Amino acid sequence: MKPYVILNAAMTLDGKIATKTGSSEISGLEDIMRVHKLRKDVDGIMVGINTVLSDNPKLTTHKISSNDSDNPVRVIVDSKARTPHNSNVLNDSAKTIIAISKEAVLDENYLDNVHFLEKYVDVFVSGEYKVDLNELMKYLFKEGIKTLMLEGGSTLNFSMFKEGLIDEINICIAPMVVGGKYSKTLVDGEGFGFMKNAIPLKLKDILHVGEDLVLKYDVLNIK
């Protein structure tokens, strides 16, 4: 059993979720409010370690009227236990789970930080060098996370698609173009070699949210 996973992201019309410098303020205010209401409705919210390093996100419902009990459990996919000590995701506004790989506990270069993180958060170990996302989903479900919002970035998004773990996509398209072959797109990773392997989707809703457009899709190849 696994959580129902909703990938939520904001991209420019040309499909970028951040520039090459990591700048990523894309959603308009109304979309931010929509996202924070969605955060309040789900049990968990998950990002990759590069998103933590780049944005230092809070991953709480702080943009809407709410209290700490409304915050979802934060989940960080962090194979080498690189979450910095001063990260906002380590504050006590919400529970945090950091998923690491076996390498992080076997290699003394990473072990000190594992011990540090264990003082503040739940640490879940799976996979040899990279977090095993299937194992992680099973663990989160057992921990009571029945709905999980995936908030990026591009690399984790691809891995989650490849494993067939995403059920739904909510994508905000902002009326802007940024370009750049080194700018992150909605889904990067290694990608598929042939269109016949593309993830099939079904459009289920189109919303005008302020100046932005929000498209909602069901993913048709889930496990």
Ligand X SMILES: Nc1nc(O)c(N)c(N[C@@H]2O[C@H](COP(=O)(O)O)[C@@H](O)[C@H]2O)n1
Ligand Y SMILES: NC(=O)C1=CN([C@@H]2O[C@H](COP(=O)(O)OP(=O)(O)OC[C@H]3O[C@@H](n4cnc5c(N)ncnc54)[C@H](O)[C@@H]3O)[C@@H](O)[C@H]2O)C=CC1
Query: Which residues contact ligand X by CB under 6 A?
Result: 10, 24-27, 35, 47, 51, 55, 57-60, 151-152, 172
Structure tokens at 97: 């789970």
With contact defined as beta carbons under 8 Å apart, do 156 and 52 qualify?
A: no
Instruction: Put the strands of the sheet holding 168-174 in their side by side order.
Output: 122-125, 96-100, 73-77, 44-48, 147-150, 4-12, 168-174, 212-219, 201-209
Residue 125 or 151 with smaller CB distance to ligand X: 151
Partner in contact with 22, chosen from ligand X, ligand Y, none, beta carbon below 5 to 8 Å by kind? ligand Y
Q: Considering only 19-27, 63-71, 195-203, 212-220, which stretch makes contact with ligand Y by CB under 6 A?
A: 19-27
22 touching ligand Y, by CB under 6 A: yes
Among 5, 6, 7, 10, binds ligand Y (CB under 6 A): 10
Q: How many whole angstroms separate alpha carbon 65 and alpha carbon 78?
A: 30
Q: What is the per-residue binding string for ligand Y in 42-81, x denoting contact by CB under 6 A?
A: -----xxxxx--xx---------------------x-x--
Nearest in space to 149 (alpha carbons), one of 14, 37, 30, 12? 37
Q: How many whole angstroms separate alpha carbon 159 and alpha carbon 191?
A: 9
Which residues are near ligand Y by CB under 6 A?
Answer: 9-10, 17-18, 22, 24, 26, 47-51, 54-55, 77, 79, 130-131, 133, 151-156, 159, 184, 188
